[in-house]
Amino acid sequence: MQANQPSRSTSNSALFDDTLPWYAKMRREAPVFYDAEQQTWFVFRYENVKQVFANWQMFSSKVPQPPEQTDFTQSLNLVDPPKHRSLRTLVAKVFTARRVEALAPRMRLIVDKLLDRVQDQGQMDFVRDFAVPLPVVVIAEILGVPIERHADFKHWSDGVVNKDLTASRELGDYFRELIQQRSGKPSNDLVSDLIAAHEDGETLSAQELVDFCIVLLVAGNETTTNMLANAIVCLHESPSAYKRLQNEPALLHSAIEEVLRYRSPVQSIFRFTKVDTQVGDQTIPAGQLVNLCVGSANRDETKFERADEFVIDRDPNEHVAFGNGIHFCLGAPLARLEAAIGLRAVLERLPNLRVDPTATLERVSPVFDLHGFKSLPVLF
């Protein structure tokens, strides 16, 4: 039996997402479901998704990788305690909230520069001209990557997301070279600080350094790009919310949280069962791949009132767009800050912003994990 996932190629002119009815059907009829063809268990309800996130003892983050893959196997999101604890402690000493907040002035300059290029045109591709370059430039600068390599960064990041092992190897090789340079000649960047970081006599190994750089680039780049574009689509689909946000700018932060819930950039996260375990009314054997359908959990009507509405001032909003438990996304503060600074400037500087009604919006990837758009033509 298959999960009968709907087609995920092109949205129609009304921006209808054909995944949502499937999520609702599965929450009602098969909330914990085994797809024999994919050899994967799917978990759709909020309470079950959160249960799996919280229980790392039974649900491992060490998801099997292709045997030929060496990079991106020791990253924070693919290891369990005690290794995860020591890695996160080391990284958190360097990638701090203070460091993220200190980036705000530079982010504003980058945002203004991007908008200066398009403000007088009355139109742009929001993804190409804004949502892609903003996080790429920010993360590249954090890591100490020169500007001439920013295009390579985007290419490699997309390749990693689409399971392109060549792109993954090229990205890993680049970071190995950068780490070697910084080991001999430290600079004022995150890579240099990670190399120098110690905790109880421990340091990050060369592979752990490479993998953290990869996960920061890929997660921070793809997630933020999709979050920014999804925000514009949400406001386009909800004119009353858009008007209210224009009149009440203080609602921006709650609006961002609702975008994360309503159109979650990451739609699914995987775990691997260590032992036989019960989820809902199903027993999942040991050694099974489990797909946590984050996008479905965030639309669960038993957790969220008016779950299929974009409620700009939703409070509380306990979405799981950034995961939950020990693997809660370390880069969440960075993504939220970029979204807040970027969207505030867009709303202020591009009046009457709207999605081009003649545009056909194509999903960012056929991969089920992600939700966003390849391009987003807008008028203003």
Least confident of 188-202, 318-332, 349-363: 188-202
Q: Would you place residue 300 in the very low, low, confident or very high pLDDT band (cuts 50, 70, 90)?
A: very high
pLDDT at 10 over 50: no
What value does the mean pLDDT take over residues 345-363?
94
Average pLDDT for 130-147: 93
The per-residue pLDDT for range 208-222, each reduced to its tens digit, is 999 999 988 888 888
Q: What is the mean pLDDT of residues 9-15?
A: 35
- pLDDT tens digits for 214-243? 988 888 888 999 999 999 999 999 999 999
Query: E strands of the chain, at which residues?
Result: 32-35, 40-43, 59-60, 123-125, 268-273, 277-279, 282-284, 289-293, 354-355, 377-379
User: What is the rounded CA–CA span in Å between residue 207 and residue 249?
Assistant: 44
> What is the distance between the alpha carbons of residues 164 and 88, in angstroms, rounded to a whole number?
27
Q: Return the SS3 of 269.
A: strand
Here the tokens at position 136 are 């790429």
DSSP state letters, 175-242: HHHHHHHHHHS--SSHHHHHHH--BTTB---HHHHHHHHHHHHHHHHHHHHHHHHHHHHHHHH-HHHH
Q: What integer pLDDT is reported at residue 270 of this predicted model?
A: 95
7 pLDDT more than 70: no
Q: How confident is the model at residue 364 (pLDDT cuts 50, 70, 90)?
A: confident
Question: How far apart (Å, rounded) are the C-alpha atoms in residues 235 and 262?
Answer: 11
The predicted structure's pLDDT at residue 3:
60
Mean pLDDT of 44-71: 89
Helices (H), 55-149: 83-94, 97-101, 104-118, 126, 133-143
pLDDT of 8 > 50? The answer is no
Q: Quick one: what percent of the chain has pLDDT higher than 70?
A: 93
What structural domains does the chain harbor?
Answer: 19-379 (1.10.630.10)
- Rounded (5°) CA angle 335-339-345: 150
Tokens for 158?
Answer: 């997309």
Average pLDDT over residues 198-217: 87
Strand order in the sheet with 377-379: 123-125, 377-379, 354-355
User: 37 near 72, Cβ under 8 Å?
Assistant: no
Tokens of 242: 């858009």
Residue 269 pLDDT class (50, 70, 90 cuts): very high
171: pLDDT strictly greater than 90: yes
pLDDT for residue 297:
98
